[in-house]
């Protein structure tokens, strides 16, 4: 991966409402390591060399002190504060206090990211192999661009897809983006299922109305919001955001500009293709407070097997100290 400049964009502006607190900051590993520590560690050893945190303005100093300062010895670190800004001619509706969603969060990074980049959630553990796969795609893409081999007709992106059974919790329902793929593993679309529950047969079931349940196989590929993009995404998001505002003019107090929906629209328009990188990794996340012990146990087990050092940042993830902030 060496030689390719790549950024890791981390969406960390949300609060864990079902969990009951700022779950991104919950210790789950030795020496108080949080899930973000492991994501950044895996990304750096896969070849990423810059980390961009999307945060709420009031939490910037918290993130800087908790994780940003200690990784700045190994990577460039920047912070982007997602606000409520809108294009000229639009106004924030009365009662709206939340930012405009994940698509808007990524758009807010346009001035900070000029190289191929991955996007992840702050509170998800994706696994070393997943970061390596996305980094490999972006690195190959950079090489193709340098040789002039990439067509400018459509942007080429990627998305990591997990097996549904590897993303479920024992403690309640989850929301997952169920993926539709073509025969060459390119994304055709994502259907957001907001209530999926685990079943004893290693599968799952979902409901759209709270009454009728539909079985869904455990091997079904799902999105956990881990993407690989080029900077060409930013002008597309800038174009689509006003369309979103117009189409949701009657519901702007609550509507959200979701990243998967924006990417799906680009696919439908023929302006982007998304290669789906299937990963066998076990996703770990703290959706509910009861999940914390399971996640911590899994990470301690990985540490005991030598996947991670007990002190992640004593020497860093095998990369040269950057000495930059």
Q: Given this model, what pLDDT does residue 171 score?
A: 86
For residues 65 and 224, what is the distance between their CA atoms, to the nearest angstrom?
27
Q: Sign (positive/negative) of CA torsion 93, 260, 116, 164? A: positive
Neighbours of 281 (CB within 10 A): 20
| 7-304 CATH | 3.90.550.10
Domain boundaries, the chain: 7-304
pLDDT of residue 169: 87
Distance CA 315, CA 9 (A): 23
pLDDT tens track of the chain, all 325 residues? Answer: 344 589 999 998 864 444 445 655 778 999 999 999 999 999 999 999 999 999 988 888 888 888 889 899 999 999 999 988 899 999 999 888 888 999 999 999 999 999 999 999 988 999 999 999 999 999 987 666 544 444 456 799 999 999 999 999 888 899 999 999 999 999 999 998 989 999 887 779 999 988 999 999 999 999 999 999 999 999 999 999 999 999 999 999 999 999 999 999 999 999 999 999 999 999 998 888 888 899 999 999 999 999 999 999 987 786 544 433 2
Q: What is the pTM of this model?
A: 0.90
pLDDT at 317: 82
**pLDDT for position 301:** 96
In angstroms, the CA 127 to CA 27 distance is: 17
Query: What per-residue confidence (pLDDT) applies to 319?
Result: 54
> Given this model, what pLDDT does residue 325 score?
29
Give buried/exposed letters for 2-40 (b at 16+ CB in 10 A, else e).
eebbbbbbbbbbbebeebeebbbbbebbbeebbbbbbbb
């Amino acid at each position: 991966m060496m030689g390719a400049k790549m950024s890791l964009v981390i969406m960390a502006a949300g609060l864990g409402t079902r969990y009951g607190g700022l779950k991104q900051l919950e210790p789950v590993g030795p020496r108080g390591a949080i899930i973000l520590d492991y994501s950044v560690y895996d990304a750096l050893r896969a070849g990423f060399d810059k980390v961009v945190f999307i945060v709420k303005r009031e939490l910037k100093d918290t993130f800087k002190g908790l994780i940003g300062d200690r990784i700045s010895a190994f990577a460039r670190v920047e912070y982007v504060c997602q606000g409520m800004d809108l294009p000229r001619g639009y106004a924030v509706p009365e009662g709206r206090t939340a930012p405009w969603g994940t698509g808007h969060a990524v758009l807010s990074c346009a001035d900070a990211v000029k190289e191929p980049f991955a996007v992840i959630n702050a509170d998800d553990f994706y696994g070393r192999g997943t970061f390596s796969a996305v980094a490999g795609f972006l690195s190959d893409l950079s090489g193709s661009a340098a040789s002039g081999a990439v067509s400018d007709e459509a942007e080429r992106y990627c998305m990591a897809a997990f097996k549904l059974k590897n993303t479920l919790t024992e403690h309640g329902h989850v929301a997952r983006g169920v993926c539709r793929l073509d025969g060459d593993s390119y994304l055709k679309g994502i259907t957001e299922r907001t209530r999926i529950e685990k079943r004893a047969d290693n599968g799952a079931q979902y409901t759209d109305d709270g009454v009728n349940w539909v079985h869904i196989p455990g091997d079904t590929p799902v999105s956990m919001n881990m993407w690989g993009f080029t900077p060409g995404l930013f002008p597309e998001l800038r174009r689509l955001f006003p369309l979103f505002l117009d189409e949701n003019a009657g519901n702007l107090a609550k509507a959200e500009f979701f990243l998967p929906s924006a990417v799906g629209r680009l696919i439908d328009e023929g302006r982007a293709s998304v290669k789906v990188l299937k990963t066998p990794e076990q996703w770990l996340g703290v959706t509910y407070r009861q999940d914390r012990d399971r996640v911590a146990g899994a990470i301690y087990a990985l540490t005991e097997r030598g996947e991670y050092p007990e002190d992640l940042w004593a020497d860093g993830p095998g990369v040269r100290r950057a000495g930059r902030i």
